[in-house]
A and B are shown apart, each in its own frame.
Chain A
Amino acid sequence: MEKWRATSNLRRSLKSVLNRRLSPGSDFTYFNEKRSFPARFNPIRDQRSLREANAIQYRYFSSVSTLVQRNPSFSTLNSDDISYFKRLLGEKNVIQDEDRLETANTDWMHKYKGSSKLLLQPRSTEEVSQILKYCNSRCLAVVPQGGNTGLVGGSVPVFDEVIVSVGSMNNIISFNKVSGILVCEAGCILENLISFLDNQGFIMPLDLGAKGSCQIGGNVSTNAGGLRLVRYGSLHGNVLGVEAVLANGDVLDMLGTLRKDNTGYDLKHLFIGSEGSLGIVTKVSILTPPKLSSVNIAFLACKDYSSCQKLLMEAKRKLGEILSAFEFLDNQAMNLVLHHLDGVRNPLPASMHSFYVLIETTGSDESYDREKLEAFLLSSMEGGLISDGVLAQDINQASSFWRIREGVPEALMKAGAVYKYDLSLPVEKMYNLVDDMRVRLGNLAKVVGFGHLGDGNLHLNISAPQYDDTILEQIEPYVYEWTFKHRGSISAEHGLGLMKANKIHYSKSPETVQIMASIKKLLDPNGILNPYKVLPH
């Protein structure tokens, strides 16, 4: 069930709702308001004419279903609030300018748009604390924002929440060359951290396509996965400490730099992955692995999905400790990338293969790793697991292979509307979902599958020329129910955000969701932090 973003008072008045048939088996009713649907009203057409009237170019994810209602217990901003913030942060860091608000209100996919009137840019934890203390006392809803690269609408306001951007807090506080422990502020851009560490001979334990824009605070708040999880594990293992500000302004200093600390309940794990709903992360201390000199990367073609699976098993066994990434993409994903991105060429142009696998190894001995990788690849080829492949001979070729895999989301954006699903499924069953969706959707849309095969994470993307509810109906809740049936996760790494706020029951039991709600109530009694998201409302 998707929500229709209201962007202006004019639109908000058109709150007609189509009575949605609830999916069989689900006994949750989240929305009380269901009015009858006037026959003439076409959400897509009227929305478009409205859009034209307002001269806004965004593609909205219109939905024939229910609306999120703005929580009436939240106050609205008044001039006293603005003056307070200006006194606290200085004129420059209180943004009310239309254009900048426009960018901050819209997510990366141009799928969600809020109508916040205020963007704040604190420069220290103390300022964040004062902001939240004030907002809590005034009951003003707040959206923490980092790089705004999230894919589930968790980083932008739904209505007029105040946007608190930690982007100005981008200092590296300390780095210990012996232990590799990096302490930095939440607004540091991931790519900048990677460059800094590169000079010191270390790397970040996570790497994602969004690294040029995403910030470490956001990465930690969403427990970002990325391309190297198969080697370095998740952020729950690599983050040693977090400093967070709670809704009432209290600063929770859990910024340890110790590898082992078993004293009491480890609260920082609550903040890792809570998507800004329990507190705003302001500082992070993270364990960084040493940069190893020998990186090798191979781009391979497999004829069917079961070969990809077997290849993964073989890779884990034969490459063992040097395996650092195992990604896959299917034929359609490859076609999209070749078609929509510049400067990308097919490493295996001889013929179009059904599946492509990217394997990366990282180790300390160039010739040893090379031999190991070549031996593995040759035996896999002889065993019929790989039908063709290439090995990068220099860093440029290696980057071009990564460009293909990391460019799939970008290519999908250029191709038109995209419905994105990020699922954790048992590796054997993963691609069956893609095949099922192809059958269900037929000619309506293109179904593309790619992802972190090494972690059992499928990125199922459905590409259509434009957003269309007939397509959406075929996808949801089928995808979620399929995932539920196989005990998978409806959100492997992207988080719940706004998109899946009411879907948590597909992957978590009611009892666990109850406890989550209690924790939320404990840490944020007024519910001002990132409302309407993550947990069902």
Chain B
Amino acid sequence: MKIMVAVKRVVDYAVRIRVKPDKSGVETQNVKMSMNPFCEIALEEALKIKEAGLAKEVVAVTMGPANCVDTLRTGLAMGADRGIHVEAARELVPLTVAKVLKRLVEVENPGLLILGKQAIDDDCNQTGQMIAGLLGWPQGTFASKVVLDKEKQVATVDREVDGGLETICLDLPAVITTDLRLNQPRYATLPNIMKAKSKPIKKYTSEELNVEIKSDLEIVQVTEPPKRKAGVILSSVDELIDKLKNEAHVI
């Protein structure tokens, strides 16, 4: 069985981000970029499944401009076997990503598609669900535990939901999106980094895949959240009620 993992290149999670002066977005020039943490967890899960002997190949996929190949290299250094890079110059929204993934799935025929639950730059949490819808595949999102059964061709997924944990059983092929507590991603060891240099990365353009890169969304403005105001010490309950009523308008 082949496992396909989608990974995204985002601003590093530990960087203190700044909003661009023209409010069109977040400053990404000269800022450290790395693989989305949830995508790392997705890749780690795929590698674990392969090491358990339940899959033969792990393919890492990414979309975006030329520098996205760095993220693929990280994925290969962690242990993925092959990489696929879909070139796209413009901003990609989840629906477009899902459509591209659908075409790649038709080409590669994986038994399992694993993604991170969301990307930390847009926090959309949509791609996994959309691709499952487009393919008509079952989906196990917010996975905190995944157990595969090869003979029965099912995946048992524990999902982190608001009420606690939900366990569902999915027929393969399926889409799984990973949540934080699923696993701890491995480090890229030097021998693997060495091997990664010779692993193939296939390039596609969006035209080859017959997908139009367009977006129905327009980002109007990006601003920082309002600065936290200092607290006010009040002298009596009457003053509190007065402030709640006339200033905060909550009563």
- A residues near B, CB below 8 A? 198, 293, 295, 298-300, 345, 347-348, 366-367, 374, 377-378, 381, 386, 388-397, 399
Contact = CB atoms under 8 A, between A and B. Distances in A.
B77 interface: yes
Contacts of A378: 190, 193-194
20 contacts: A198-B16, A293-B32, A298-B190, A345-B184, A366-B32, A377-B190, A381-B194, A386-B190, A388-B189, A389-B190, A390-B187, A390-B189, A390-B190, A391-B187, A393-B34, A393-B35, A394-B14, A395-B15, A396-B12, A399-B14
B193 A374 contact: yes
Contact of B13 (A299, A392, A396): A396
Interface in B58-92: 70, 74, 77-78
Main SS class of interface, A? mixed
A90 B118 CA distance: 55
A391 B188 CA distance: 6
Nearest to B13: A396
B184 A390 contact: no
Interface residues on B, range: 20 to 34
B189 A394 contact: no
B190 A388 contact: yes
Contacts of B30: 293
B190 A394 contact: no
Interface in B17-49: 30-32, 34-35, 37, 40
A128 B157 CA distance: 66
A393 B190 contact: no
Nearest to B75: A393
Nearest to A389: B190
B54 to A, nearest CB: 22
Contact of B34 (A374, A388, A394, A399): A394
Contacts of B70: 367
A439 to B, nearest CB: 34
A346 to B, nearest CB: 10
A397 B13 contact: no
Contacts of B16: 198
Contacts of A389: 189-190
Nearest to B36: A394
Contact of A395 (B32, B40, B188, B193): B32
Contacts of B184: 345
Contacts of A299: 187
Given A345-B184, A388-B189, A393 B74 contact: yes
B193 A391 contact: yes
A150 B154 CA distance: 59
A394 B148 CA distance: 30
Given A293-B30, A293-B32, A399-B14, A393 B194 contact: no
